[in-house]
Structure 1
Amino acid sequence: MKSANILLDDDFNPKLSDFGLAKLGPVGDRTHVSTRVMGTYGFCAPDYAMSGKLTLKSDVYSFGVLLLELITGRRAFDPSRARAERNLTIWAMIIRYRYHLVKDN
């Protein structure tokens, strides 16, 4: 899931599009699907990129990136930014630790 795949109709109701990878997701009692790694850089979960195993957690990660885009007004990956700020999730982790925004357990 990425922000470019969320469309709005005339009444601003959201519609999801491009279910390419979603069609490959786990079915029934299966916990994952092994595939060639595909997806949009910045939205691809690190564990999926490393293992090639597409799980429900992969969608949760992508949704989290989408929420970060909405909250910050930044793109998931922006090559025009400084190197440490290009990847939104890495930038958010740096900000989190710098300002102690979330307390670790």
Structure 2
Amino acid sequence: MTQYIIYFHQQWVGQHSDEWFASRGPLANAVIEQAKAEGILVAAAGVEEDLDRAVAVDATSGSPQFSSGLVAPGQQYLGGLTIIDVENEEAARMWAGKIAEACGWPQQLRRLY
């Protein structure tokens, strides 16, 4: 079995109505429940959207230094992720497709080592 991360950047979500978001939640939850039932789900979660609540940790000076916000400003930042443990890339692609369809925005698929 091989682990894959399926994730999206918050900027990929786009602008939608509250009703639209409410309609996507049950679809996304159903895919996650299916992954749990099949025993391939490692983890799934959304990420805090308030970047001021992020904590940057830098230990390059020899000891960890903590600060509020991102390590470096960027145009994209993580919005959520799912980690699965499946037989092969074909299976990972199938699950990434299910998540993309349920959420209604693009997903990125990458193998974990």
TM over 0.5: no
Scaled by the length of structure 1, the TM-score of the pair is 0.30
Q: Which has the higher strand share?
A: 2
Scaled by the length of structure 2, the TM-score of the pair is 0.28
Q: Which has the higher helix share?
A: 1
